[in-house]
Amino acid sequence: MPALPVHAARPDLDALELLVAVGDLGSLSAAAGALGIAQPNASRTLSRLERRLGARLIDRGSRGSEPTAAGRVALEHARRVLDATDDLVEQVRTAAGEGRVRIIASQTVAERLMPVFLAALAADLPGVPASFEVDNSSGVLAAVRRGRADIGFVEGAEEPAGLGSLVIGRDRLVAVVAPTHAWARDPQRRRDGVDAAQLAATPLVVREEGSGTREVLRQALAPRPLAEPALVLHSNAAVRTAVAGGAGPAVLSELIVDADLREGTLVSIPVRGVALHRLLRVVWNGPRPARLDGALQALLDAQR
């Protein structure tokens, strides 16, 4: 097959962003989840990119996705193209007087901490517009690494590689069930709880791959493999609703379920033999955005 003319082979930016996400995260499914696209669509996008460039870019196997020699070259240039495109957007916005602050946060942080941060930001930088997105932790980290956000908020046990970060709070995961669940109806179980092995073997209602909550649970219970989920849902609210409706147990942030526990719509079950604590962090790429220090300090003060 003859090679396409250069102008006809130019890839679209979405395909390049997917390629970079695969390189960063090590698998097509994780990249698709981080970018919020269905895996079949991601596969088609990657295949279309490979056809346009006339080379296989990614080798997909049971252990994940690895770039080929051509893929490594494509990745290097894709990062430059995306960086240049982001710079174009920012330079034009700056020239137009926007100076926008771009913020992205994981769901747990967005639901409980962002009102304080956004109010402080508006008071500290009056007249400066801000955009705010919500994604899972993997999506937040990908956005910050790619320069699509100035600052991101995530939860997790480990400091994200290659990014600046600051701990802004601490959180605890708790196992919860409906009041009608067998665990809740057993007084001894409510008192003594379940051990780590029992929790790992139980089909849970979980968040999607890429969620910080799911990843912290997986790390905490390792090397025990997690049972096949009872349900996989894409928001904390959906998980809470499903658990309250009897779909099965879940492990969620104490910040997210505190009202449900007080009202009795969910019941907390102790988990023995494992620490389910995690850190809440703000992350950035490159120099720390100094103009956000006032709002970050207000957020830190609110956690004390």
* Residue 303 pLDDT > 90: no
Q: What is the pLDDT of residues 112-145, one digit of tens each?
A: 889 999 999 999 888 888 889 999 898 999 999 9
CATH of the domain at 111: 3.40.190.10
CATH of the domain at 61: 1.10.10.10
pLDDT value for 87: 73
At 257, list the tokens. Answer: 């379920």
pLDDT confidence of 250, banded at 50, 70, 90?
A: very high
pLDDT value for 146: 87
Asked whether residue 162 falls in the same domain as residue 285, the answer is yes
% of the chain at pLDDT higher than 70: 93
Instruction: Please give the single-letter amino acid code of residue 208.
Output: E
Residue 266 lies in a domain: yes
Residue 160 lies in a domain: yes
CATH of the domain at 201: 3.40.190.290
Range of the domain at 27: 13-92
Cβ–Cβ under 8 Å, residues 215 and 182: no
* Residue 1 pLDDT > 50: no
Asked whether residue 184 falls in the same domain as residue 268, the answer is yes
Asked whether residue 85 falls in the same domain as residue 121, the answer is no
- Cβ contacts of 100 within 8 Å, gap of 6 or more: 93, 128, 129, 130, 131
- Burial environment of residue 170 by CB neighbours within 10 A (0 to 12, 13 to 18, 19 or more): exposed
Cβ–Cβ under 8 Å, residues 106 and 115: no
In 3D, which of 103, 152, 114 has the Cα closest to residue 299?
114
Look at 47-56, 64-73, 96-105 and tell me which has the smallest mean pLDDT: 96-105
More confident residue, 247 or 31: 247
Asked whether residue 208 falls in the same domain as residue 247, the answer is yes
Q: What is the pLDDT of residues 178-210, one digit of tens each?
A: 999 999 999 999 999 999 999 999 999 999 888
Residue 164 has phi, psi (to 5 degrees) of -75, 150
- Measuring CA to CA, how many Å separate 16 from each of 31, 42, 75, 181, 242? 12, 11, 8, 47, 36
In 3D, which of 239, 235, 245 has the Cα closest to residue 178?
245
pLDDT value for 85: 85
Asked whether residue 126 falls in the same domain as residue 104, the answer is yes
* Total domain count, the chain: 3
Global pTM reads 0.66
Asked whether residue 64 falls in the same domain as residue 107, the answer is no
pLDDT value for 259: 93
At 168, list the tokens. Answer: 């802004």
Residue 2 lies in a domain: no
**Length of the chain measured in residues:** 304
* Residue 5 pLDDT > 70: no
Asked whether residue 177 falls in the same domain as residue 273, the answer is yes
Cβ–Cβ under 8 Å, residues 51 and 2: no
| Residue that is last in its domain, among 69, 92, 115 | 92
